[in-house]
Structure 1
Amino acid sequence: MNITFHSILVGLLITMSSALRCSAALDGNNSVISFQVGVILDLETQLGYRAFNCLTIAHSDFYSRHPNYKTRLVLHARDSKRNVIDAAASGLELLKYLKVDAVIGPQKSTQANFLMNLGERAQVPIVSFSATSPSLQPPKFFVQTAQTDDTEVGVIAAIVKAFQWNQVVIIYEDSEYGNGIVPYLSNALQDINAHVAYKSLIPVSADEDFTLKELYKMMTMQTRIFIAHLSHSLGAKFFLKAKAIGMMSEGYVWIITSGLMDFLPSMNSHIVEAMQGVLGVKPLIPKTSHLESLRLQKTIFDPVNPGYKSADMVSIFDVWAYDTMWALAMAAEQVGSHYPEASYQDTTADLNSSDPFNLPISKTGPKLLKAILTTRFKGLSGMFHLVGGILYPTSYKILNVVGNGEKEVAVWTQAHGFKRVRHNTSDKFDSTPKEEFNSNIIWPGKSRVLPRGWEVPVRGKRLKVAVAVRPGFEEYLNVMKDLRTGAVHFSGYYIEVFQSVMAALPYAVPYDFFHFEKPDGSCA
């Protein structure tokens, strides 16, 4: 069965079942007030398919728990087929002909750019739980029920600061999703005096040759700290190549953002193997019975992407999708209780217009938007609370890719910094974050040794140290030459002090001593 048809069919069955239960509960009371809600997702992708399942489960759960509510959301699903044009076409159809009161979606930040302008024109809320680019704000009718990517730059900068690394490379994909975070990440690193040595821009459609060329270029650089902000599909291919050329070995550090880390549990084993030792961050999801109920209800099967295995774990996007449905249902009940007559202006004129962008204006939309922005409740992701139309950021957890999955290393909040994770609880570190991290993390190459973050590459220049020796005081500085082999041996207190200083640097600097003398062998 086609996955798109199957997704919509399952959703309709769940929605119809919920509606029947609700109708029975309302028999003899006031009639149900329906709110038409469009859903625009890439249903043939793992994220879209899983999220749509979670939306329909949330719809069923909500009205099962609130059978006496007078309003009901009626879902109209559309497949945006992984591209901007189909997302825009779906939005036009839903807004102009179905006259929906709200739209959940789209899935990608690139799709949101056009759709949120349609919402602005029709005065209909466009609510996305997965378009996380911070550059999408601030259109009035666009709501991000997700934490935007810029909220996680604080924890990434905190990790870099904790380990006292002073140079990094940022790797990001050339898309709305990829580009949006870079200015914020650069500023956060600048605030902790960490220099961005290079920014590697990877096209979404990058072929093997391009990826290898970029990796080899980065391999010749001195810094060994890499921060990767890539989608899961591009990220999987990228790390396989990094592994193949030896950039997942001892001495390297890789930090990935939540967009890639969140997909790790569903990745194929050979991809996880290539990412061993990686550090990742993602929002902390509180462990509750409600969350476990969602996990048990979810049916996840993804035949479209053979590179990914099925997973029964709940991702952050699953949770945000679930909470989005609850927030919209609560907002609809609030509006429906006070304004039972949902309507549009100039409906007939809009339908007959030859201009596809001549959209009817919703009277309900502004009221629904206001209700959404003020809705607060305890959701699966924690307290659902929008600030400026964006989900208020919560705690982050730092994860280490080890074995077949991930190991939680610490929890971080803006207010309290790092906390240790121990027996499902968190408390403050007994020692510095650097020492705590070093005891819990397995680095690339299965190393327990904290990477310095800086190496002079094979093609790099070695430091040349001139040693000029005058006669006498050999205990301070002495040069001995083996007449048979020609090898020169340097010793003495000054040499030992220099070697100790070089060893104490937070990065490795290969160096060579050479005897600085005149052609006749006397002291220069």
Structure 2
Amino acid sequence: MFNAARSLIKTKKVQAILGPHAWEESSLVADVCTQAHIPILSLATDSTPEWAMLRWPFLIQASSSPNQRSQMKAVAAIVQSWEWHRVTLIYEDTTNSASNGVISHLSTALREVGAEIDQLIALPPFPSSSFSEKLQRLKGEQCRVFVVHVSLPLAIHFFAKAKKMEMMTKDYVWITTDTITSLIYSLDASAISSMQGVIGIKAYFPETGPRFQEFTKKFKKKFSKDHPEEKNHEPGIFAVKAYDATWAVALALGGAGKSGGQEIIEKISSTDFNGLTGKIRFNGRKLAPSHTFQIVNVIGKSYRELGFWTEGRGFSEAIDQTVFYNSSMQVLEQVFWPGGPRYTPKGWTVSTEIERLRIGVPTGSMFKQFVNVEHDDQTNRFSFTGFSIDVFKATIERLPYDFPYEFVPFDGDYDDLVKQVHLKQNFRGVVGDVKILASRYQYAEFTEAYTESGLVMVVPVQLQTNRALLFMKPFTTDMWILIMAINIYNGFVVWLIERNHCPELQGSVMDQIGTLLWLGFTTLFSLNGEKLHSNLSRMAMVVWLFVALVITQSYTASLTSMLTVQQLQPATRNIETLKNSNAMVGHGKGTHVPTYLKDVLGFQSTNLKNFSSPQECAQALKSGEIAALFLVAPFAKLFLAMYCKSFILAGPSYKIGGFGFVFPKGSSMLADINEALLKVAESGTLGELENSMTGTECLDMESDHGNPTLSLNSFWILFILTGGTSTVALVFYVILGKWKFSHMLQHKINWRLILAMLSKNYQLRPEHHVTKCPIGGVL
């Protein structure tokens, strides 16, 4: 290539050279052209690096190569659409592959969507036996999403080898960049069959318009004449780019006269016209890159166009002003994946080199309800039970793929267990009551906490001593006021109706007030129905007594409950009291809680005591050996469920991490585990497992719902009933009284004459008979 360029310059006296499409060849020609001051228009598909533009001032990038940064963003958008989190980049190990920034651009773009590069695989420029070794290693890894950025000839050999090794099947994802995808149209049937299911990204240019159609017609006619053996006569991307580059040179030479190469360079750089690939405009001797990409899917004998991706907008089914854009590729047509269209690859699988992941389980849990490891001597097998084990199993069941694992017991310190995950010596994860601590993050990563977080203080209970006014507690203040008011009102109605029948209901004002109050409140305990003369007062009294019976029975039941049930109060309310009294406090196993008590809460190390079981803790609290016990929130909840009548929480909850599952740093399964764990919580399964562990008795010691105070909400209908009945009786009494008074006035004179005549004939002698009054007196 070097000699051919020199020959053209010397013998043909060329004024410009349209360079080859391979970057290595273009760089060789650029050396010759720079020495001769002859412009070279490179048609290389890769973007020309900046250092090359400085080294060869007569080099022009005439190929509208896609912007590498934009292209890697398109790759990242595809990865995000299907919720993949790791990809493996396979690139060609040439002088410009890494320098073009493909690795850095892809890494940045993936990081922006919550993904990352799992591995970098460099392939030699020419096919070799190392292909099989590299593919075999990739086959044994967990990541199943591969981005391939190599030249087309290398891609043909690579995919043929991948198909032979059964890596173009279910669970695999292959994404090719523009260097391959733009030339897929030129591949034969054998090469296409090796790439079934591949998703490709290529620079987009409109293939419509009369000018393009005319070019296509002439190209096909010329190509079929020169190459009759070829079946595909369609113009490819190189033909279109070469056509536009030729037009750029022709326009520059037409206006440059017989000047040298520098003027031609300037004319080409200022070129501005509409070519077949779009707007042809140079910026710094580089053709403006494309920011719109076409997404294709290799299927059958060729490929299918799925849609487009535009930087800053997203995916769309077409390119126009009214089209709807979406951030997810799933709005495009259905993808035909390797292995079939109905199964969307998850992008990750368990390593085939490890049959089962070894999950470490600590054997020294303080509460066996969380983690319990037992050994069967007869079968020499371990059994693993407990809340943490059940949560992990429920989480694994919600993963979208198989996750083979085995539990392995670990008898040792929790920190050492986490470190072994970091070193990958024995375990690939940890399940148990392992606290999420900042100090442990340097060794491993944690899932989201599956328990409450916090450190709490548990203390003995003491009975409530201030019970002098306990008899007032069954009713609220409003209830007491209304009871008094309704009694006075009902007593007044009965007194008003019965006072004409019983002289003892009359008398001085003070006597009548006392009688009224006495009459009102004695009805709560007895009914003087036989002593009442009016049916109206009897009606009011019956309803009144019914309401009084309901109220008194409710009061008696509530007061009995309050007297029987212990009112629990914490013996110690805060840590300041403990520190001032130099009291001993206890804590569970481990190093973090005592460190927190000393460094954060300010306890003396001599006042701290370690316990390894809840029974020891309970005995120490009851005997007074310790004044308080500090436990993490999930342990405290279980402890109080076990000893609900002896201990209670006191003081605030101090924020520390909850319990989580442990995995190696950078684990590709962590995001899926977190998602599955969230599904367990949202479905209610997590709450059900927790309730089955703690039970339903005495779960909330601070609740006041055991002895509720009775309020008007429970009795307002009864008060309306008795008050309404008494009011009706009062209204009827007033109406009847007015009628009797009017009738009496009409006959007043006649009655006086009759009485006068009778008094003259004989002396009236009244009979002494007993008249019962509502208050129990006798007339």
What TM-score, normalized to structure 2?
0.46
Residue in 1 aligned with 2:324? 428
| SS in structure 2 of the partner of residue 171 of structure 1 | strand
Counterparts of 1:24-423 in structure 2, within 5 Å, are 87-130=1-44, 132-135=46-49, 136-138=52-54, 139-148=56-65, 150=68, 152-176=71-95, 178-181=97-100, 183-193=101-111, 194-207=115-128, 209-288=129-208, 289-299=210-220, 300=223, 310-335=231-256, 340=257, 342=258, 363-394=259-290, 395-421=292-318
Q: Note the alpha carbon deviations across 1:319-354, whole angstroms, 9 max, x for none.
A: 11111111111222232xxxx3x1xxxxxxxxxxxx
| SS in structure 2 of the partner of residue 391 of structure 1 | coil
For the 8 Å contact 1:88–1:115, the answer to whether it is kept is yes
In 2, Cα distance between equivalents of 1:399 and 1:268: 17
Q: Percent identity?
A: 27
Give the counterpart of 1:457 among 351, 355, 359.
351
In 2, Cα distance between equivalents of 1:488 and 1:505: 25
For the 8 Å contact 1:466–1:516, the answer to whether it is kept is yes
Which amino acid is the alignment partner of residue 107 of structure 2?
L
Q: Give 1:507 deviation, angstroms.
A: 8.2
In 2, Cα distance between equivalents of 1:153 and 1:315: 23
Residue in 2 aligned with 1:45? none
Which amino acid is the alignment partner of residue 210 of structure 1?
S
| SS in structure 1 of the partner of residue 339 of structure 2 | helix
Residue in 2 aligned with 1:14? none
Q: Give 1:496 deviation, angstroms.
A: 5.2
Which amino acid is the alignment partner of residue 222 of structure 1?
Q
In 2, Cα distance between equivalents of 1:508 and 1:291: 51
| SS in structure 2 of the partner of residue 236 of structure 1 | helix
Q: Note the alpha carbon deviations across 1:103-140, whole angstroms, 9 max, x for none.
A: 11133211121221222222221012235343343332
For the 8 Å contact 1:131–1:144, the answer to whether it is kept is no
Q: Note the alpha carbon deviations across 1:373-414, whole angstroms, 9 max, x for none.
A: 111111111111112222212211111112222122231222
For the 8 Å contact 1:112–1:131, the answer to whether it is kept is no
For the 8 Å contact 1:295–1:312, the answer to whether it is kept is no
Q: Give 1:280 deviation, angstroms.
A: 0.8
In 2, Cα distance between equivalents of 1:481 and 1:302: 83
In 2, Cα distance between equivalents of 1:434 and 1:491: 43
| SS in structure 2 of the partner of residue 446 of structure 1 | coil
Which amino acid is the alignment partner of residue 239 of structure 2?
D
For the 8 Å contact 1:189–1:195, the answer to whether it is kept is yes
In 1, Cα distance between equivalents of 2:322 and 2:161: 36
Which amino acid is the alignment partner of residue 331 of structure 2?
E
For the 8 Å contact 1:455–1:507, the answer to whether it is kept is yes
In 2, Cα distance between equivalents of 1:319 and 1:123: 27
Residue in 2 aligned with 1:73? none
In 2, Cα distance between equivalents of 1:493 and 1:441: 42
Q: Give 1:425 deviation, angstroms.
A: 8.9
| SS in structure 2 of the partner of residue 228 of structure 1 | strand
Which amino acid is the alignment partner of residue 184 of structure 1?
V
In 2, Cα distance between equivalents of 1:156 and 1:415: 14
In 1, Cα distance between equivalents of 2:130 and 2:165: 14
For the 8 Å contact 1:285–1:316, the answer to whether it is kept is no
Q: How has the CA–CA distance of structure 1 residues 143 and 471 changed in structure 2, closer, same or farther, with 3 Å as cutoff?
A: closer
The structure that is strand-richer by fraction is 1
Residue in 1 aligned with 2:773? none
In 2, Cα distance between equivalents of 1:145 and 1:286: 18
For the 8 Å contact 1:465–1:511, the answer to whether it is kept is no
Q: Give 1:215 deviation, angstroms.
A: 0.6
Larger Rg: 2
In 2, Cα distance between equivalents of 1:435 and 1:493: 38
| SS in structure 2 of the partner of residue 132 of structure 1 | coil
For the 8 Å contact 2:182–2:203, the answer to whether it is kept is no
In 2, Cα distance between equivalents of 1:485 and 1:407: 58
For the 8 Å contact 2:132–2:161, the answer to whether it is kept is yes
For the 8 Å contact 2:144–2:347, the answer to whether it is kept is yes
In 2, Cα distance between equivalents of 1:496 and 1:462: 17
For the 8 Å contact 1:409–1:421, the answer to whether it is kept is no
Q: How has the CA–CA distance of structure 1 residues 434 and 258 changed in structure 2, closer, same or farther, with 3 Å as cutoff?
A: closer
In 2, Cα distance between equivalents of 1:505 and 1:389: 52
Q: How has the CA–CA distance of structure 1 residues 483 and 235 changed in structure 2, closer, same or farther, with 3 Å as cutoff?
A: same
Q: How has the CA–CA distance of structure 1 residues 398 and 185 changed in structure 2, closer, same or farther, with 3 Å as cutoff?
A: farther
Q: How has the CA–CA distance of structure 1 residues 93 and 448 changed in structure 2, closer, same or farther, with 3 Å as cutoff?
A: same
In 1, Cα distance between equivalents of 2:45 and 2:110: 28
Q: How has the CA–CA distance of structure 1 residues 516 and 88 changed in structure 2, closer, same or farther, with 3 Å as cutoff?
A: closer
410-419 or 241-250, which deviates more: 410-419
Which amino acid is the alignment partner of residue 287 of structure 2?
L
For the 8 Å contact 1:401–1:407, the answer to whether it is kept is yes
Q: How has the CA–CA distance of structure 1 residues 380 and 470 changed in structure 2, closer, same or farther, with 3 Å as cutoff?
A: same
Gaps of 5+ in 1: 1-86, 343-362
For the 8 Å contact 1:116–1:141, the answer to whether it is kept is yes
Q: Give 1:170 deviation, angstroms.
A: 1.6
In 2, Cα distance between equivalents of 1:473 and 1:420: 57
Q: Note the alpha carbon deviations across 1:191-228, whole angstroms, 9 max, x for none.
A: 43243332222223223x22111110111222111111
Q: Note the alpha carbon deviations across 1:51-81, whole angstroms, 9 max, x for none.
A: xxxxxxxxxxxxxxxxxxxxxxxxxxxxxxx
In 2, Cα distance between equivalents of 1:277 and 1:425: 31
Give the counterpart of 1:441 among 313, 335, 359.
335
Which amino acid is the alignment partner of residue 53 of structure 2?
Q
For the 8 Å contact 2:73–2:109, the answer to whether it is kept is no
Residue in 2 aligned with 1:44? none
In 2, Cα distance between equivalents of 1:434 and 1:483: 56
Over aligned residues, Cα RMSD in angstroms?
A: 3.7
For the 8 Å contact 2:110–2:117, the answer to whether it is kept is no
Q: Give 1:514 deviation, angstroms.
A: 5.3
Q: Give 1:187 deviation, angstroms.
A: 3.3
For the 8 Å contact 2:45–2:179, the answer to whether it is kept is no
Aligned pairs, number: 400
For the 8 Å contact 2:40–2:58, the answer to whether it is kept is yes
| SS in structure 2 of the partner of residue 440 of structure 1 | coil
Q: How has the CA–CA distance of structure 1 residues 375 and 493 changed in structure 2, closer, same or farther, with 3 Å as cutoff?
A: same
Gaps of 5+ in 2: 413-611, 614-779
For the 8 Å contact 2:375–2:381, the answer to whether it is kept is yes
238-247 or 490-499, which deviates more: 490-499
What TM-score, normalized to structure 1?
0.67
For the 8 Å contact 1:220–1:458, the answer to whether it is kept is yes
Q: Note the alpha carbon deviations across 1:475-515, whole angstroms, 9 max, x for none.
A: x8899999999998878765553245446679875423457
